Amino acid sequence: MPSEPLLVIEKVNLAIRGNPILRDVSLRVTAGEIVALIGPNGAGKSTLARVALGLIRADSGRIWRKPGARVGYMPQRLMVDDTLPLSVWRFTTLGTPTSRARVREALAEVGAAHVLDAPVQGISGGEMQRVLLARALLREPELLVLDEPIQGVDLNGQYELYDLISGLRQRRGCGILMVSHELHLVMATTDHVLCLNRHVCCSGHPDHVARDPAYLALFGLDGARHLAIYHHHHDHQHDLHGAVVESAETETHG
Amino acid sequence: MDDFLLRALLGGFGVALAAGPLGTFIIWRRMAYFGDMLAHSGLLGVALGAILRVNPQLGVVFTCLLVALALVLLQRQRGLATDTLLGILAHATLSLGLVTLAFLETVRVDLVGYLFGDILAITTADLCWIWGGGVLALGVLAGLWRPLLAITVHEELAQVEGVAVFPVRLAFMLLIAVVIAVAMKVVGILLITSLLIIPAAAARRFAHSPEGMAALASLVGGAAVGLGLWASLRWDTPAGPSVVVAASALFALGLAIPTRSRR
In this prediction the ipTM stands at: 0.84
Q: Cα–Cα distance between A138 and A94 in angstroms, integer?
A: 11
- The helix/strand/coil state of B258 is coil
Quote the pLDDT of residue A222: 59
pLDDT grade for B1, boundaries at 50, 70 and 90 = low
Q: What is the pLDDT of residue A248?
A: 39
Q: How near does any CA of chain A get to the CA of B111, in Å? A: 35
* Confidence (pLDDT) at A251: 36
DSSP annotation of A247: T
Residue B40 has pLDDT above 60, yes or no: yes
DSSP string, B193-247: HHHHHHHHHHHHTT-SSHHHHHHHHHHHHHHHHHHHHHHHHHHT--HHHHHHHHH
Q: In whole angstroms, what is the distance from residue A115 CA to residue A99 CA?
A: 16
Residues A72 and A133: their CA atoms lie apart, in Å, by 8
CB-CB contact of A137 with A72 (8 Å) = yes
Q: CB contact, 8 Å: A70 with chain B?
A: no
Q: What is the DSSP letter of A243?
A: P
pLDDT at A2: 54
A28, with CB counted inside 10 A (0-12, 13-18, 19+), is middle
Give residue-wise pLDDT tens across range A10-50: 999 999 888 889 999 999 999 989 999 988 888 888 999 99
Dihedral pair phi/psi, residue A75, rounded to 5° = -75, 165
- DSSP classification of residue A142: S
- pLDDT the model gives residue A116: 92
Q: Which amino acid is at B63?
A: T
- Report d(CA B128, CA B257) in Å as an integer: 37
Cβ-based contacts of A122 with chain B (< 8 Å): 262-263
Buried b (16+ CB within 10 A) or exposed e, B121-133: ebeeebbebbbeb
**Chain B contact for A221 (CB, 8 A cutoff):** no
What residues 91-150 of chain A have any CB closer than 8 A to a CB of chain B?
91, 94-97, 118-119, 122, 135, 139, 145
The verdict on B207 touching A (C-beta cutoff 8 Å) is yes
Q: How far apart are CA B99 and CA B114, in angstroms?
A: 15
Evaluate whether B21 touches B201 at the Cβ level (below 8 Å).
no
**Mean pLDDT computed over every residue of chain A:** 82
For B79-129, how does the pLDDT look when each residue is reduced to its tens digit (9 = 90+)? 888 889 999 999 999 999 999 988 887 777 788 888 888 888 889 988 998
pLDDT, averaged across chain B: 90
Residue B216 has pLDDT above 90, yes or no: yes
Residues making up chain B, counted from first to last: 263
Are B186 and B112 within 8 A, CB to CB? no
Q: For residue B68, give the nearest of B85, B51, B81 by alpha carbon.
A: B85
Which residue of chain B is at minimal alpha-carbon distance from A94? B150
Per-residue pLDDT of A78-132, as tens digits, reads: 889 899 999 999 999 998 889 999 999 999 988 889 999 999 999 988 889 999 9
Average pLDDT of the residues in B211-236 = 95
- Segment A131-159 shows an average pLDDT of 88
* Residue A101: exposure state from Cβ atoms within 10 A (0-12, 13-18, ≥19): exposed
Does B212 touch chain A if contact means CB atoms closer than 8 Å? yes
pTM of the full predicted structure? 0.86
Whether A146 and A165 have beta carbons less than 8 Å apart is answered as yes
